[in-house]
Structure 1
Amino acid sequence: MKKILFITGKLAEKGLKTVIDSIEDKKFSYEIRNLNVNVAALLTTDMIERRIGDVNDFDEIIIPGRVRGDIKSLEKQLSKTITRGPDELKDLPLLFGAKPVKYDLSKFETSIFGEITDALNMTVDQVIEKAEFFRSEGADVIDVGCLPNKHFPHLEEIVQELKNRNFYVSIDSHNTDELIRGSKAGADYLLSIKSETYHILENLDSYPILIPTDNDITEFYKLIDRALDDELIFIADPILDPISYGFTDSLVRYVNLREKYPDIHIMMGLGNITELTHADTSGINMIMLGIIEELKLNHILTTQVSRHCSTVIRETDLARRIIHAASENNLTPKHINDGLLVHHGHKDYAFCSDELIEMQGNIKDKNYRIYVNDDGIHLFNKNVYKIFSDPFDFYEHLEVSDDAGHAFYLGVELARAQIAHQLQKEYQQDEELSWGCLVDRKVDNKLQSKELGPTFKKRK
């Protein structure tokens, strides 16, 4: 039978044994070795090499997930297979059972048109800068927005500069002159074409996005049939209406359109929902992409105008990948990627209150530990154990009056812990809170030790 050596610190030793013993049908025997540090996460591979002792009897060594350093070098020095465990102790059984499936998020079948609504009021360079940003967020096509009854003198220059930088471009206007000018400048798509403007397509090479006139679906179907008879390549959009203005009926139009024309390309514009609804857009986009995936729609038009819509393209890009992976694997869109879980967490808390109280009994130093669970924010060291939900309640119990740097550090950490507790998010001391795809987090390179924070650097 395989024999495994588990490396840990003083505080986690008992918890580690409990977790290992909970694994059913173990195919290994084991030993736990405490390397005489309180917190296992503070270990480095160099420390492990110095302290680990004789390992000849073991087939594999499993080290804590937050250990920093070069594992390959440690393997070479010890001549043993070394595995980095999970960051959270309670996830350890995953190493010995069905490992989490890694889903392929590189695939999707829906393209994103990102609209620059105020392109008319921007310089060419400003449009290019925003287009580059939209592309980096996930947009496949840059939609150049025009404004009613406003002359757009630099339309051609914008289109040409975008094409020179390998962008796909659409012109968003109901003005036939602007549509013609944009097409002749090299635009790939014209958004939008109605029955009364269809005639301009005769001498243009751009692909039209067909829309109904005044929501007249009968005439819209006739327009689509005309385009099919003319053997045009086109996209149809029956228009999604805002909530309170026919939203549900407009969804039915998409269902009916797909049933009637199973093979045509269809676009859905999401701005009427995201921009005109005061709700966080990550959830809205996930639901709408689910509808889009089930109806096999091909294109999305979206905007980032309102402040609450400032990350819509990024969210839409991730949502289309998650939803497609779920569809391909016949799953609900859960446990595929948590990038759209921006406010709440989904994991169980690492420790219950009884476990934290027991942990405090083994602490021999004055360093404060902070944890969060359903009972509140837990702060403790060898002398004190307090549970509150408001950081200010800890103030009189903290022994940091002569250490401004440490006081500042605890203030930051307790503020993070309060947010985590209020939103039921995961909290890990010394780590930034996760906000899903909304905020880029610093990459935590476990091959390197963390630099000292500003409050710990040696004063001159």
Structure 2
Amino acid sequence: MRVLLITGMLAENIVRTYAMESGVEFSVKALPIPVAALMSPAYIARELEKEKPLGFDLVLTPGLIEGDVSIVEKAIGIPTFKGPRYAADLPLVLKALDRVKLSKEVPACKVIETEARSLMLKELKALDLYEKSLKPEEGCLMIGNGEARVVVGRGLRVKVVAEILNAPVLSNAELKRKAVQYASEGADIIDLGMLAENPKPMEVKRLISTVKHAVKLPVSIDTLNPDEIDEALKHGVDMVISLERSNIQKLKGLNEEVAFVVIPADNTEGFYPKDVDTRVKMLEDNIALAKRMGITRLLGDLILDPINSPSLTESLIAYYEFSKRNPQIPLLMGIGNVTELIDADSIGVNALMIGIAQELGVALVLTTEGSVKTRNAVREASIATRMMALAAKRGSPPKDLELSLLALKEKRFKEVPYEASVEVEAKVVKAVKTPKERVKADAKGYFKIAIDRVNGEIAVIHYPLGSPKPDLVVKGREANSLYKTLVKLQLVSELSHAAYLGLELAKAELALLTGRSYVQDAPLADVAPAYR
């Protein structure tokens, strides 16, 4: 197949460079216009009609142009489609020509992305349906009932337990909001974190009832207190985290439908083993004790240690050794112990820890959003479990899955290299950093910009010049649509004010996307040393 690539004068070299990586036979036609995105289908048709291309099987136009390129095909008689938006995606598109049906309206990269994502979602749905079809006798454990049932076990997708920290001190409205938020972010089980030093068994009924009415997910309780556990068992809890040697023997009423997580500890003696062998042996002993007490739905938790406290590696070895010796016992791993206690972005830490959990045969990971730096940890963990499940099914590393946790970095660098040759004929002026100057007062008024975190929007609040009271709030999620709305409403009349607004709205959009703090007139964030 021979392909003709249409572009503008400035991008000719970079288009040729990337196309050469594909191994597909091609030619580049640079039309007499500097920027390819400024072309229209009608313009391309007129230019190609002047000297009709011959010997080509396919024509790809720039993906960023607007409109339907059918007019080009009619003009030259060669099948014509939109190419990718960025030259860096040309190798991907050209290599896929024999298996992908391109579009005359949608950029090729988007077509390929949509098709790959559709296949990925089908795979995930098939995995989900398979897991839901499993029976307990097939070596898995059921947590919850009816619609609020989760199937866990070795070899299945790792499920996410999202802990609502300090649940007893929250109002019903706060509990509901957090439960709904975590469910929307992909949590499989909602966990009620109790107060370790201040037991509140009288609150347990309210907590369980509120969450169960808010979401159709299993509910667990995270406590070592026997009275809180007993109350939870009376009021429909689906899982208890955690049982240790002393509280196992204090439970008054057991429910065969409730799952229990057992840990290697004895609170009476204040004993929490740290070395691998003792930790594994004690968990085995505590599970045996729980079975003698009549508990049948059991999971183990070796307790994941934070780095250097005393040793993440030692605790992972304990998980490995226990899993090897007791493959029939599902495991829970509290990855929040690691993500909360490291000053690194949780998105990468969660991906790695869940990959390790998958390899160890862990059934459940428990995560928290206990600090600003771990916001969105539930969503990150949910995506990571699906990435790892797909990778395990395909027998591949967790990459090229059309599902990723890349946030700041990217797989393909799409930036067009700077052509220093433009400086030969053009005057070069160096921007000089000057003391901060006040933006000239705009007769149309001024703005305050804030992030509405509850609704996930940027709020642009307009004040008439000289007035302390706002007269208008413009809300949206993108800087582009916001500034266009402000211009349309004729709320900006000074160039310096317009430039200032563009800067601040771009910062606000990035803050909304990344979860970073937004403060008007301040830098978006302190850049990590690695990026300086």
Verify same fold: TM over 0.5. yes
Structure 2 counterpart of 1:116, which letter? I
- 1:129-162 Cα deviation digits (max 9, x unpaired): 1111111112111101111324254431331232
Residue 357 of structure 1 and its aligned partner are, at CA, apart by 2.0
1:142 is paired with a residue of what secondary structure? strand
- Please name the residue that 1:32 is paired with: 29
Percent of aligned positions that are identical: 27
Deviation at 1:308, TM superposition (A): 0.9
Letter aligned with residue 272 of structure 2: N
Structure 2 CA distance for aligned equivalents of residues 318 and 270 of structure 1: 15
CA distance, structure 1, for counterparts of residue 350 and residue 303 of structure 2: 16
Residues 201, 227 of structure 2: 8 Å contact kept: no
Distance change in 2, residues 1:16/1:291 (3 Å) = closer
Aligned to 2:212: 163
Partner of 1:208: 260
Are residue 219 (structure 1) and residue 282 (structure 2) matched? yes
One-letter amino acid of the structure 2 residue matched with residue 183 of structure 1: L
Distance 1:201 1:325, change over 3 A: farther
1:166-210, Cα deviation, whole Å (9 max, x unpaired): 121001111222112222221111111122222427532321111
Task: Specify which of 368, 382, 395 is matched with residue 317 of structure 1.
Answer: 382
Cα distance in 2 for residues equivalent to 1:130 and 1:281: 19
Structure 2 residue identity aligned to 1:96: L
Residue in structure 1 matching 2:198, options 131, 137, 149 = 149
Q: Which residue of 2 aligns with 1:263?
A: 328
Gap runs ≥5 in structure 1 = 362-381, 396-401, 417-431, 441-460
Alpha-carbon distance in structure 2 between the residues aligned to 1:293 and 1:235: 16
- Which whole-Å CA distance do the structure 1 matches of 2:344 and 2:411 have between them? 20
| Partner residue, 1:111 | 159
| Aligned partners of 1:46 and 1:69 also within 8 Å | no
User: What is the CA distance between 1:75 and its match in structure 2?
Assistant: 6.4
User: Counterparts of 1:386 and 1:95 in 2: how far apart (Å)?
Assistant: 39
Counterpart amino acid of residue 53 in structure 1:
E
Q: Residue 87 of structure 1 corresponds to which residue in structure 2?
A: 85
State the distance in 2 between where 1:192 and 1:182 align.
12
**In the alignment, which residue of structure 2 is the partner of 1:124?**
172
Structure 1-normalised TM-score? 0.72
Match of 2:433 in 1: 392
- Superposition pairs of residues 37-436 of structure 1, within 5 angstroms: 37-45=33-41, 48=44, 52-53=48-49, 57=54, 58-70=56-68, 81-97=79-95, 102=116, 104=120, 106=124, 109-147=157-195, 148-151=197-200, 153-164=202-213, 165-199=215-249, 200=251, 203-204=254-255, 205-213=257-265, 214-216=271-273, 217=279, 218-227=281-290, 230=294, 232-247=296-311, 248-336=313-401, 339-348=404-413, 350-353=415-418, 356-358=419-421, 383-385=426-428, 392=433, 403-404=495-496, 407-408=499-500
What is the CA–CA distance in structure 2 between the aligned matches of 1:177 and 1:82, rounded to whole Å? 72
Deviations 1:310-369 (A, max 9, x none): 12112212222223333333333344468433344454464444xx124667xxxxxxxx
CA deviation profile, 1:15-69 (whole Å, cap 9, x unmatched): 334444x35753x4545151x4321123344654565537685532212232233
- Cα contact 2:161–2:188 (8 A) shared by 1: yes
Cα-to-partner distance string for 1:369-415 (whole Å, 9 max, x where unaligned): xxxxxxxxxxxxx7344688xx838x9xxxxxx942674488679x9
Name the SS for the 1:357 alignment partner: coil
One-letter code of the match for 2:198?
N
**TM-score normalised per structure 2:** 0.63
Amino acid at match of 1:215: Y
Name whichever of 133-142 and 150-159 sits farther off.
150-159
Distance 1:170 1:18, change over 3 A: closer
> Could you tell me which amino acid in structure 2 is paired with residue 287 of structure 1?
L
Instruction: Considering Cα pairs closer than 8 Å and 6+ residues apart, tell me whether 1 or 2 has the greater RCO.
Output: 1
Q: Give the structure 1 partner of residue 455 of structure 2.
A: none
What one-letter code is carried by the residue in structure 1 that aligns with 2:287?
A: I
Contact 1:134–1:313 (Cα < 8 Å) also in 2: yes
8 Å Cα contact 2:88/2:413 also seen in 1:
no
The CA deviation string for residues 395-453 of structure 1, in whole angstroms up to 9 with x for no partner, is 9xxxxxx942674488679x98xxxxxxxxxxxxxxx7799x8469xxxxxxxxxxxxx
Contact 1:5/1:33 (<8 A) preserved = no
Alignment partner of 2:420: what SS?
helix
Q: SS where residue 203 of structure 1 aligns?
A: coil
Q: What is the DSSP-based 3-state SS (H/G/I as helix, E as strand, rest coil) of the residue aligned with 2:337? A: helix
State the shift of 1:13 in Å: 2.5
Report the 3-state secondary structure (helix = DSSP H, G, I; strand = E; otherwise coil) of the residue aligned with 1:120: helix
Specify whether residues 62 and 110 from structure 1 end up closer, same or farther in structure 2 by C-alpha distance, changes over 3 A only.
Answer: same
Which region of structure 1 is more displaced relative to structure 2, 223-232 or 298-307?
223-232
Note closer, same or farther for the CA distance 1:412–1:70 as it changes in structure 2 (3 Å cut): farther
In 1, the alpha carbon distance for the partners of 2:398 and 2:183 equals 25
**More displaced 10-residue stretch of structure 1: 260-269 or 203-212:** 203-212
CA contact (8 A) 1:311 1:438 kept: no
Q: 1:345 to 1:385 in 2, by over 3 A?
A: farther
1:262 to partner: Cα distance: 1.0
Instruction: Give the CA deviation at 1:241.
Output: 1.8
User: Residues 24 and 235 from structure 1, CA distance in 2 versus in 1: closer, same or farther, beyond 3 angstroms?
Assistant: closer
SS of residue in 1 equivalent to 2:433: helix
For the 8 Å contact 2:208–2:235, the answer to whether it is kept is: yes
- Cα distance, 1:239 vs structure 2: 0.8
Q: Please tell me whether residue 16 in structure 1 is matched to residue 59 in structure 2.
A: no
- Judged with a 3 Å threshold, the aligned counterparts in structure 2 of structure 1 residues 176 and 66 are, in CA distance, closer, same or farther, namely same
Q: Is the 8 A contact 1:17 1:32 kept in 2?
A: no
SS at 1:112 equivalent: strand
Corresponding letter in the other structure for 1:252: I
Q: Residue 23 and residue 277 in structure 1: after superposition, are their counterparts in 2 closer, same or farther (change >3 A)? A: closer
- Whether the aligned pair in 1 keeps the contact of 2:88 and 2:412 (CA below 8 Å) is no
Offset of residue 265 of structure 1: 0.8
SS of residue paired to 2:192: strand
Q: Secondary structure at the match of 1:143?
A: strand
